[in-house]
Amino acid sequence: MSRENISIIGFPMDLGSGRRGVDMGPSALRIANLERRLRNLGYNVEDLGDIKIKIMEKQKVGDPKLRYLNEVLKTSLVLAKTVEKVLDKGNFPLCIGGDHSMAIGTIAGIAAHCRKYKKSLGVIWIDAHADMNTHETTPSGNIHGMPLAASMGLGHPSLVNFYGFKPKVKPEHCALIGIRSVDKEERKNIRKLNPTVFTMSDIDKLGIHRVISRVLKQFRQQVDHIHISFDVDSVDPSVAPGVGTPVKGGLSYRESHLLMETIAECGCMSSLEIAEVNPILDTHNTSAIFASELVASSMGQRIL
């Protein structure tokens, strides 16, 4: 697979979250010169535009424990097919959202590609939240709190069996970084599946460089395709205020960049998604600019 050719896929989804505005995340990232930053690093970039998603006002909520499930599944199917096609072509998929329910589609498309080419998949989930609720444990019914559990095979059958196979990724091939907000019942799901988890307390004690280096070393020995799923709320709200579910005590500006720079140095990232940029809650597009800079760091931008 060539990292020289990047395909940007917009997924303006807000149905998985409880707040409006995150559907404008892809536009905000484009306004923040995402494409130009990547071109300046020497990449060929094609923007495939946005996958069409009906607005909330034209939808039925449906099951209150799985809000807007039908539209989430329908649009995730388009996303999964697009991601799979990009990878099959040998290009690098860069998915921009949108709430984190987008990971249902991105991970399914990547996993299908990996199955086809007999590769093993590893997912590094950088987020304030574990996103490991199910319809039985969710306090809100918002599907953006469920994608990682579903991808690992836990949750409602329609999410778990999405795209025709399960699990998309083995729990031992998942690592969560930056976690600091976990629902009470969700903890049981984490213990049951038992992925590698580095909370913000772990990062405080060990340092972000040691944490990501440890994860990358483990993954390079175990998997062929490393997918990075980056929720901008993993970063402290003082740095990135424009996110759907801000939680104090997150990654600092430099920790975030060092994390992405270390991933770039590894040269082992094969796909990337950026989720939960919400320009309505932002100040002068600060969070989208920061997120686009992080993408550039993950793709090789350096201070010197």
Contacts of 272 (CB under 8 A, 6+ apart): 92, 93, 94, 95, 227, 228, 230, 295, 298
- Which of 135, 144, 156, 227 is an active site residue? 144
**Residue 257 annotated as catalytic:** no
Residue 275: Cβ within 10 Å count: 34
- Which of 35, 71, 131, 261 is an active site residue? 131
- Which of 71, 84, 99, 129 is an active site residue? 129
Report d(CA 177, CA 215) in Å as an integer. Answer: 9
- Amino acid at position 24, single letter: M
**Residue 100 annotated as catalytic:** yes
Q: How far is CA 227 from CA 127, 134, 154, 246, in A?
A: 14, 22, 20, 23
Judging by beta carbons within 10 Å of its beta carbon (0-12, 13-18, 19+), is residue 205 exposed, middle or buried? exposed
CB of 226 closer than 8 Å to CB of 174: no
Report d(CA 99, CA 14) in Å as an integer. Answer: 6
**Residue 276 annotated as catalytic:** yes
- Which of 23, 127, 186, 293 is an active site residue? 127
**Residue 261 annotated as catalytic:** no
Give residue for tokens 């991808």.
151
**Residue 14 annotated as catalytic:** no
Instruction: Give φ, ψ of 215 to 5 degrees.
Output: -65, -45
- Amino acid at position 98, single letter: G
- Which of 99, 100, 113, 236 is an active site residue? 100
- Which of 23, 35, 84, 231 is an active site residue? 231
- Which of 23, 50, 186, 233 is an active site residue? 233
Report d(CA 17, CA 141) in Å as an integer. Answer: 9
**Residue 183 annotated as catalytic:** no
Beta strands 121-126 and 269-275: pairing type? unpaired
- Which of 84, 276, 282, 293 is an active site residue? 276
**Residue 88 annotated as catalytic:** no
Nearest to 263 by CA among 293, 224, 226: 226
Report d(CA 206, CA 299) in Å as an integer. Answer: 25
**Residue 225 annotated as catalytic:** no
Residues serving a catalytic function are 100, 127, 129, 131, 144, 231, 233, 276
